[in-house]
Amino acid sequence: MTEDLDEIYRRASALDPSRPSEAVRRKVLEHAAALAAAPPRPAANRARWRPAIFGTLAAAGLAGLLIMPRVFNPHAPTESADTSVPAEAPPAVAAPPLAGAPPLAGAPPVNSAPIQPQNAQPEAAARSRAQPNARSLVEATPRTADASRQGASRLEAAAKSGAAAENTIASVQPASPQADPSAALRQAAETGDIQKLRAILGTQVGIDAPDARGRTALMLAASRGQAESVDVLLAHGADPNAVDSDGRTPLKAALAADQPAIVAALRRAGAR
């Protein structure tokens, strides 16, 4: 019975006149021929990511070792403590040589510094032995407060200038992917998110919509080596000869990124 069913199915398929389009066959065979003609990619290029990843991990580990003691040192003053010294706070905490900087690992904590608050020292001893120190502390305290105030005002200024810079950047940068479907398209193409790319292409988005630098989704995909994105974009009619503000085309981007398969695909699609 199984064979009967399969046989009937095969007969039905043979009678079914629907066929794949000739254009698809032509495109596929041309694409395959172009790839076969492209020089094989050297194996060395494929293996480059390994040292890159290990190098990055090693650097991250080293950075972690350097930062760890600062994070877990219970005596380390926090940045906020440095910038918001309360007015009533005892004024005699000596300013370390680098005020505001967290101590290095192994350095004595600030609270255990040999210089004590002025009112904690016996008056006589303060007068006889520590007069210069006390004076310097008294003088230093306002300077520290001033420094704090200056630091705070500098921080405010930096924040203001940062906000201004952010506004300036926002004015020249393209809209976020959430707000702009063409930005989302470019991002999906660049990251090789095929499912998202297809979803966006299903909408009325301009497939060649450029970003602020004139780069299209195809260019970004080509430069990132996203061969699958390139295939999908070309299949949907992306312009293989679009030019960005630096005069770069998708083909130039693929050549620069050493992507022979993408180069072949673009050339097949008419890229010059």
Partner 1 sequence: MGRYARGEAAAFELLYRRHELRVWRYLQRNLKNAATADELMQEVWFAVARDASRYLPSARFTTWLFSIAHNRMIDSIRTRRRHMSLESLGHESEEVTRQLTADPGASPVAAAVARDEAAALIRAVEDLPREQREAFLLQVEGDLDVEEIARITGSSFETTKSRLRYARTKLRQMLKEYV
DSSP H or E run through 32? helix 22-37
The amino acid at residue 238 is A
Span from 32-40, 158-166, 178-186, 207-215 in contact with partner 1 (CB under 8 A) = 32-40
Among 82, 180, 208, 231, binds partner 1 (CB under 8 A): 231
Residue 18: strand, helix, or coil? coil
Q: Is 36 in the site for partner 1 (CB under 8 A)?
A: yes
Determine, following the binding rule CB under 8 A, whether residue 97 of this chain makes contact with partner 1: no
Q: Does 12 bind partner 1 (CB under 8 A)?
A: yes
List the x/- string, 177-196, binding to partner 1 by CB under 8 A: -----------------xx-
Contact call for residue 105 and partner 1 (CB under 8 A): no
At 224, the amino acid letter reads R
The dihedrals phi and psi of 98, each to the nearest 5 degrees, come to -115, 85
In angstroms, the CA 185 to CA 180 distance is 9
Rounded alpha-carbon distances, angstroms, from residue 101 to 8, 71, 86 = 83, 13, 18
Task: Output the six-digit token pair for 184.
Answer: 């989302």
Should residue 227 be labelled a site residue for partner 1 when binding is judged by CB under 8 A? yes
User: Any contact of residue 6 with partner 1 (CB under 8 A)?
Assistant: yes
Q: Is 48 in the site for partner 1 (CB under 8 A)?
A: no
By beta-carbon proximity to partner 1, the closer residue of 22 and 88 is 22
Query: Residue 31 interacts with partner 1 (CB under 8 A)?
Result: yes
Query: What CA dihedral angle connects 215, 216, 218 and 222, to 10 degrees?
Result: 10
CA distance 272 to 261: 15
Q: Residues in the site for partner 1, rule: CB under 8 A?
A: 1-2, 5-6, 8-13, 15-21, 23-25, 27-29, 31-33, 35-37, 40, 194-195, 198-199, 202-203, 227-228, 231-232, 235, 261, 265
